[in-house]
Amino acid sequence: MLLQQTGFSTPAELQAAMDEYGRFCESLPDDADIPSFMEYLGRPSAAKDFFREIRSDVADRDFQSEAELKEFLNQRMASANDSPREDFEGLSPAQMHQILQARETKRVPLLRHNGSLSAKDAETAPLVAAVRWLLRYHADHGGATRLTERDNYPRALCRAYLAHFDPSYREGMPVPTEKSLKTLYTAHDMLVANDWAYESRHRSELTTEGVQMLAEDNAVKVFRQVFESLFLHVGWTDYLTEEYEDAVSHFAFIQKAAVFSLYLLSRHPEGTFRDLFDRFARAFPEFVKPAQGDQWTIDWLGETFAYLFLVEFCVPLGLVKIFPEASPSEAADESSILGYRYSITGLFENAFVWP
């Protein structure tokens, strides 16, 4: 942890820097203000500056008792905690703490669903359309469908899905597997995660909840439930390949901060992927600290943020459009997706109420 915080690669490098720091401190005059180790490295903390301000304020005041001093300090701390921060796009540290610690969407102070969201808007979400189609497909086939040996949907279902959703599909064209159809693959997960389908012995069958959801034909309800499932229960880092193995826990923070990222979209409804990531990194500088200033690594972190948040979360929910239309996953290896542009959709504007 200390290596990560200080930006050194090995204990030997850290020890050498600390030895040099010790010699520097010893060379200072007796009345000099000794910098912290992080200040010496050129990375002072905001907390350090804040406490320096407090020390300065305390030095200029005459307190009659320890209780009076404690009351003054408590007021200053409370004021700082509740004050808007530019790096947080106008949110306070207290609000940010609540956002990052929330475990249920109804407890997130910033996130409010719009009670007036229309079915017409909700139906524009690709994932909502796929889930509703899957429910009907099950019903049209006696309430159940078979699964492959690996518990994926069969090619017959995939063919019907393509015929319904892909205008370029023609009868006789090769049919990819379910895993190659990203929205269908995610919709499959949503049926199981929300108990709309029960699977066993290579068979998927509608549950009572699934039949009820189909009967209600409520696109808004489907949108809110799949939104909550993706936000809370699906691990965004699960798809990452072995090259990300050592960074999975680091990238998990992207999901933890998803509500703040949605808030960023509400304040900046269009821009480049890089614009959005720069604002994210400004609020959470610890996220880019492991890069130690290396631009290639910073871009790698930014691309992963953009892919997990924008491509894997926002696009299936119909919250953003990406330009160019080609999916970033299909871009040439040498082309960074940070140059891609995004814009929020009408569904995003109507789904939530932001302060």
- Domain range summary for the chain, segments of one domain joined by +: 1-59, 119-233, 242-351
Tokens of 211: 């039949």
DSSP helix/strand/coil, 249: helix
**Spans of the chain below 50 pLDDT:** 1, 46-47, 50, 326, 330-334
What is the predicted pLDDT for the residue at 330? 44
Please tell me the predicted confidence (pLDDT) of residue 59: 61
Contact 352, 112 (CB under 8 A): yes
Q: What are the two backbone dihedrals, phi and then psi, of residue 197, each rounded to the nearest 5 degrees? A: -145, 145
Read off the tokens for 54: 């407090």
| Whole-number Å distance between alpha carbons of 82 and 62 | 26
pLDDT at res. 70 = 65
Give the count of beta carbons closer than 10 Å to the beta carbon of residue 135: 22
Whole-number percent of the chain with pLDDT over 70: 78
Q: Which residues contact 93 (CB under 8 A, 6 or more apart)?
A: 80, 81, 82, 83, 85
pLDDT tens for each residue of 297-349? 999 999 999 999 999 999 999 999 999 754 555 444 346 899 999 999 999 99
Residue recorded with tokens 């023609």: 170
Q: How far apart are CA 160 and CA 138, in angstroms?
A: 12
In whole angstroms, give the CA distance from residue 42 to residue 50: 17
The pTM assigned to this predicted structure is 0.76
What is the pLDDT, as a whole number, of residue 184? 97
Question: What pLDDT score does 17 carry?
Answer: 75
CATH class of 119-233: mainly alpha
Per-residue model confidence (pLDDT) at position 27: 77
Element (H, E) at 4: helix 2-6
Output the pLDDT for position 341: 93
- Please give the structure tokens belonging to residue 180: 């190659």
